[in-house]
Amino acid sequence: MRALVVYESSFGNTGQVATAVWEGMFQRLPDVALLEVSAAPRRLPPELELLVVGAPTQAFGMSRPKTREDALRTAGTELTGPTFGVREWLRELEPPQRPVYAATFDTRIHTPHVPGSAAVGAWRVLRRAGFEVSAEVESFWVLGIRGPLRDGELDRAQSWGVSLVSLLPGQHPVGAR
Ligand SMILES: Cc1cc2nc3c(=O)[nH]c(=O)nc-3n(C[C@H](O)[C@H](O)[C@H](O)COP(=O)(O)O)c2cc1C
């Protein structure tokens, strides 16, 4: 596995974006996996070169147990036990043993002057952990707490996925031959 997309999603929107990012990457790099965060390994495969992490922005950053609980309640889902998100996964993630590029994205509501981004929070944690973080932080927009995604966001996510692969050595920038 050369690349891995890990995502968290309360209502499914970040999951859709993660799938589109994965599809874009897969066009250029067949060796890419997509995992929901609770199934993601704490120790990354030694051959991994690129990690992409996506999460919904909740309460101005990465989700916490309380915000996920609020989300489940909003979705009308029964609370069945402790939940697990990208924040907790990153805390447990073992630092890379060799250079691994990382990129992050989130979904959030486009509200002028409202700060906070799960993608920026995850990016900071990955940088501190020793990942090779470039400027690859992206937000995809939802129209409300439960979604849906704005028109065109899945196409944008797929194109972003294509462009991420060019971070890897030996991969050509998008549009180059
Ligand atoms: C508890 C809670 C807090 C939220 N806080 C924010 C916020 O601070 N900023 C924002 O833009 N969106 C906020 N949202 C909206 C989420 O970003 C939105 O639900 C998410 O993008 C949907 O993605 P998902 O379907 O993958 O969960 C919040 C949602 C919930 C449930």
pLDDT, tens digit (0-9, with 9 covering 90-100), for 60-73: 999 999 999 999 99
pLDDT digits (tens, 9 = 90+) for 27-50: 999 999 999 999 999 999 999 999
For residue 103, the one-letter residue type is: A
pLDDT digits (tens, 9 = 90+) for 119-167: 999 999 999 999 998 778 999 999 999 999 999 999 999 999 999 998 8
Instruction: Point out the ligand 1 atom lying closest to the alpha carbon of residue 111.
Output: 11
- Pick from 92, 110, 103, 115: nearest CA to 55: 103
pLDDT digits (tens, 9 = 90+) for 11-24: 999 999 999 999 99
Rounded to whole angstroms, the Cα distance separating 11 from 8 reads: 10
Q: Which residue has the tokens 């409300």?
A: 144
CATH architecture of 3-165: 3-Layer(aba) Sandwich (3.40)
Q: Which sequence spans correspond to the domains of the chain?
A: 3-165
pLDDT of residue 174: 59
pLDDT of residue 138: 97
User: Is 107 near ligand 1, meaning CB less than 6 Å away?
Assistant: yes
Paired with 138 in beta bridges are 105
pLDDT over 70 for what percent of the chain? Answer: 97
For residue 57, the CA-to-ligand 1 centroid distance in Å is: 5
User: Is 150 near ligand 1, meaning CB less than 6 Å away?
Assistant: no
Rounded to whole angstroms, the Cα distance separating 23 from 114 reads: 31
Strand extents, DSSP E, 37-157: 50-56, 101-109, 132-142
Q: CB atoms < 10 A from the CB of 119, how many?
A: 25
Strand extents, DSSP E, the chain: 3-7, 32-36, 50-56, 101-109, 132-142
For residue 152, the CA-to-ligand 1 centroid distance in Å is: 19
Written as six digits, the tokens of 3 are 């690349």
Higher-confidence residue of 74 and 81: namely 74
